Structure 1
Amino acid sequence: MKKFFFIFVLYWLHSCNGTEKAMATSPDTQKTSISEKQNTEKIERIIYSQTGGDTGGKGVYLVITKDSIIYRLTEGVTDKKTIANLSLNNNNKDWEAFIDKIDLEDFEKGKPSKELIMDLPTIKIIIKTDKKEYSKTDIQNNTTWNYITKQVIDIKYSQLYNHLNLEK
Structure 2
Amino acid sequence: MGTWSDGRHPGSIEEWVFSAWSPDGSLGAVSGHRIVGATAWYWAALARQGRPLLHITDFEVPVRADPFIVKGEAMWAEHFRDDPMTQWTVGNETYASALDDPTEALGRAYGVPTPIAFDLEWYATGAPTPIIGDHVDGYEQVGVVHGAIEVLGEPKI
TM-score range, shorter chain: 0.3 to 0.5
Larger strand share, 1 or 2: 2
TM-score computed with the length of structure 1 as normaliser: 0.36
Larger helix share, 1 or 2: 1
TM-score computed with the length of structure 2 as normaliser: 0.38
Larger radius of gyration: 1
Higher relative contact order, structure no. (Cα contacts within 8 Å, ≥ 6 residues apart): 1
